[in-house]
Amino acid sequence: MIRVQNDNILKNLKLWVWIYFILLIFEGALRKWFLPQLADPILIIRDPVALWIIYKSVTHGYWKPEGAVNLILFITILSVILALIIGHGNLFVALYGFRITAIHFPLIFVIGKIWEWEDTVKLGRVILWLIIGMTILVGIQFFSPQSAWVNRGVGGDISGSGFGATAEFYRVPGTFSFTNGLAFFYGLSTAFILFFWMSAKKHVPYYLLIISTISLIAAIPLSVSRTVLFQIAVSLAFCLAISKSNPGVLKKILTIGVLSSVLLLILKNFEFFKTASLAFEERFTNANETEGGVEGVFVDRFLGGMYKAIMDESFEFWGSGLGIGTNAGAKIMTGKRDFLIAEEEWGRIIGEMGLILGLIMIMIRGGVVFKLILESWSMVRKDNILPWMLMSFGMFIILQGAWAQPTTLGFSVLTGGLIISSARRA
């Protein structure tokens, strides 16, 4: 009787993780199209879900905070106190910052504890269906005017949700509030698609795998996003990295390459793909010229955020206060959504929490990523490549994703949890 009850509790907890995932994918649609009048509160709609999952997991003995979670909770609470005493002094802004690492960060480890390999594969199958619908939606948004209903912005904004016009076309967000969510969705989808192609067992029908692959290829120009192309390249590099330890992987990579080339040649015969490709090429060229090419992008975004954060003399040693670097915190303080601290994540952390606590926070995230890389690599040797492929997407977003933005935070948390859970193979 106790076993049955525990099984029911675990099933319920797993269901709430699915709810977290569904809200992550569709909360933008609620904010734009279906409940625009509730756009602001829906922004944090996953917070109570995350809190509930953690609470039930702790009270029923499925998980308890330890290690990195305890340390990050201590630093977060200390940062709230400093924000109120010597920082901005606004409790609501501090609490908004508090929720990022005190509620969502622990969820990474909770998901990893209550989900298993089979649950992660099931989510991958769902994503393969979702990417088909998402790409169709992206195509409609791409060719529709910004005044169209499908392109309405947050809160029903009729000026549109597109960003960064290129060749009279905009970067579109799909079901998400902003374009970053779409890029992350395709990044996670890439990891799953490549896993299913390389897996020794047939986990999904080939027709679904082929159609989802076509959808991913079509999404590269339609999304007008360099991030999508970059993520695909990173995931392919992760595939190559395991080819030595698993010779069969190289053969499958070549198969994927040949199939993708054939699909690309077929897509080039369609006018929609030609038009989208021209817009993407212009976007790629213009952005590279502005940001100094791939090397400039890497130095400025990956290393520059840390360098500027440390060297910026305008930053307070103990920080300006937790939460003030978020757009929501800025709106509470000034009435406008803006970057009061820094746009880069590491700059925001150090600007909010100060040099000492900020660097500790960054090192904790770096430590988590390093540990996940080692564990994922060890799984490859046990013929479980799923954690490694998920790591190809999760590595950068967990390390330096802009957690101040709820969608980025959601994908970081979900992916981190999936990496851990995918290692729990029976």
pLDDT digit string (tens) for 174-229? 999 999 999 999 999 999 999 999 987 889 999 999 999 999 999 999 998 888 99
| Least confident window among 89-98, 114-123, 208-217, 254-263 | 254-263
Confirm if 238 and 392 have CB atoms less than 8 A apart.
yes
Give the pLDDT band (50/70/90) at residue 291. low
| Least confident window among 131-145, 196-210, 241-255 | 241-255
Cα of 404 vs its chain's centroid, Å: 12
pLDDT for residue 6 is more than 80: no
Report how far apart, in Å, the C-alpha atoms of 140 and of each of 52, 150, 221, 272, 414 are: 37, 8, 13, 10, 28
pLDDT for residue 418 is more than 90: yes
| pLDDT tens column, 54-68 | 999 999 999 999 999
| pLDDT tens column, 148-162 | 999 999 999 998 888
pLDDT of residue 190: 97
pLDDT of residue 180: 94
The CB density around residue 409, as the number of other CB atoms within 10 Å, is: 24
Hey, what are 404's tokens?
Answer: 């101040």
What's the whole-number mean pLDDT along residues 119-125?
Answer: 98
Q: Which domain holds residue 337?
A: 2-422
Confirm if 349 and 365 have CB atoms less than 8 A apart.
no
pLDDT for residue 103 is more than 70: yes
What's the whole-number mean pLDDT along residues 93-107?
Answer: 97
pLDDT, the chain, mean: 90
- CA atoms within a 13 Å half-sphere pointing along the CA-CB vector of 294: 5
pLDDT for residue 307 is more than 70: no
State the sign of the Cα–Cα–Cα–Cα dihedral 284, 290, 294, 298. Answer: negative
Give the pLDDT band (50/70/90) at residue 244. confident
pLDDT of residue 252: 83
What's the whole-number mean pLDDT along residues 382-388?
Answer: 94
What's the whole-number mean pLDDT along residues 359-378?
Answer: 96
User: What is the helix (H) or strand (E) element at residue 197, kind and residue range?
Assistant: helix 179-198
Number of domains, the chain: 1
Give the pLDDT band (50/70/90) at residue 425. confident
**In the chain, pLDDT over 70 holds for what percent of residues?**
91
pLDDT for residue 321 is more than 90: yes
The CB density around residue 249, as the number of other CB atoms within 10 Å, is: 19
pLDDT of residue 4: 46
pLDDT for residue 302 is more than 70: no
Give the pLDDT band (50/70/90) at residue 403. very high
DSSP tag of 292: T
Task: Tell me which amino acid residue 158 is.
Answer: I
The end-to-end CA distance of the chain, in Å, is 24
